[in-house]
Amino acid sequence: MGYLTDGLTFNVLRQANLKRLPTFKNSKGEPAHSEPDGSDWALSAWSNAVCGELGEAANLIKKIERGDTTLEEAREALGKEFADVVTYLDILAMRAGVDLGVAVVNKFNEVSRRVHSPVRLLNGGSDFYLLPPEEGP
Ligand SMILES: [Mg+2]
DSSP string of 8-45? --HHHHHHHHHHHGGG-B-TTSSBS-SSTTSTTS-HHH
Task: Return the pLDDT at 135.
Answer: 72
| C-alpha 11 to ligand 1 mean position (Å) | 22
Q: CA-to-CA distance for 68 and 87, rounded, in angstroms?
A: 28
Cβ-based burial of 66 (10 A; exposed 0-12, middle 13-18, buried ≥19): exposed
| C-alpha 72 to ligand 1 mean position (Å) | 18
pLDDT in tens, 12-29: 999 999 999 999 999 999
Average pLDDT of the chain? 92
Task: Return the pLDDT at 137.
Answer: 60
Nearest to 6 by CA among 88, 101, 106, 126: 126
Domain residue spans in the chain?
1-97, 99-137
| C-alpha 113 to ligand 1 mean position (Å) | 35
Q: CA-to-CA distance for 130 and 137, rounded, in angstroms?
A: 9
Task: Return the pLDDT at 2.
Answer: 52
| C-alpha 117 to ligand 1 mean position (Å) | 34
Task: Return the pLDDT at 73.
Answer: 98
| C-alpha 88 to ligand 1 mean position (Å) | 10
| C-alpha 41 to ligand 1 mean position (Å) | 18
**Which CATH number, 1.10.287, 1.10.1760, 1.10.10, 1.10.357, labels domain 1-97?**
1.10.287
| C-alpha 79 to ligand 1 mean position (Å) | 10
Task: Return the pLDDT at 82.
Answer: 98
| C-alpha 45 to ligand 1 mean position (Å) | 15
Residues comprising the chain, all counted: 137
| C-alpha 57 to ligand 1 mean position (Å) | 8
| C-alpha 83 to ligand 1 mean position (Å) | 8
Which stretches of the chain score pLDDT less than 70? 1-6, 134, 136-137
Cβ neighbors of 42 (< 8 A, separation 6 or more) are: none
